[in-house]
Amino acid sequence: MNYSDEELDTLQQENYFKELEQDAYQSAKPMMPANLIDLKTSDNPEKFQQVDHLISKGEHLQMTFGIDNGLPYYKIKVAPNREVSLYLNKEIIQYLYSWIKDGVRLPKAPNTWDVQKNVNEKYMIYLMKRDRELNFLRFYESSQRHMSLYPKGIIHYGELPYTTDELNAKLDAISIG
């Protein structure tokens, strides 16, 4: 059977696309449902960019610490009526602390994907101890509110069910390594 040049081109294109489709089908992996952590932290890079924009403008950060299903985060005010929940890891904390403590914006942005998991109240106590050792942690006994007042930011830890003595005992029991 003799084919014209046009017919040969058409057959080759059809063959090419069939091969591509077959390769794609064979290499396709079954879809796995996304886990809760991946869903919650999927926009962490964008949230970090919003916070870093504030830092680049020299803004004072208003942060509230929280734990969401074992994931530590800072809720950070990025606009008058807007807050973002930035999930944390050691690099993000180091970046934020460099800013709020020393007013220094680190040259390298942190990894915003690998967030810490399975944390509990001990993690918050650890952060509070760090703040206390730097002399930024404040206790407000009358309201049971605790916050750290840094030169370039505030970290609110909220109301805790401990007296100052009880909290100090918890802080003393945690070691910072």
The answer to whether residues 137 and 148 touch, using CB atoms and an 8 Å cutoff, is yes
pLDDT tens sequence across 55-77: 999 999 999 999 998 999 999 99
Query: Would residue 135 be called left, alpha or beta, if left means φ above 0 and alpha means ψ between -120 and 50 degrees?
Result: left
Query: Are the C-beta atoms of residues 41 and 87 closer than 8 Å to each other?
Result: yes
Q: Please list, in sequence order, all residues whose beta carbon lies within 8 angstroms of the beta carbon of residue 84, skipping any fewer than 6 positions away.
A: 47, 50, 51, 75, 76, 78
Measured in degrees and rounded to the nearest 5, phi and psi for residue 48 equal -60, -40
Q: How far apart are CA 115 and CA 47, in angstroms?
A: 13
Positions of E strands within 112-177: 137-140, 145-150, 153-159
List pLDDT tens digits, range 82-103. Answer: 999 999 999 999 999 999 999 9
Calpha distance 122→75 (Å, rounded): 19
- In this structure, are residues 41 and 115 in contact, taking their beta carbons and an 8 Å threshold? yes
pTM summary value: 0.77
Among 5-19, 82-96, 156-170, name the most confident range.
82-96
Own/partner long-range contacts of 53-56 (Cβ < 8 Å, ≥24 apart): 53/78, 54/78, 55/99, 55/105, 56/105
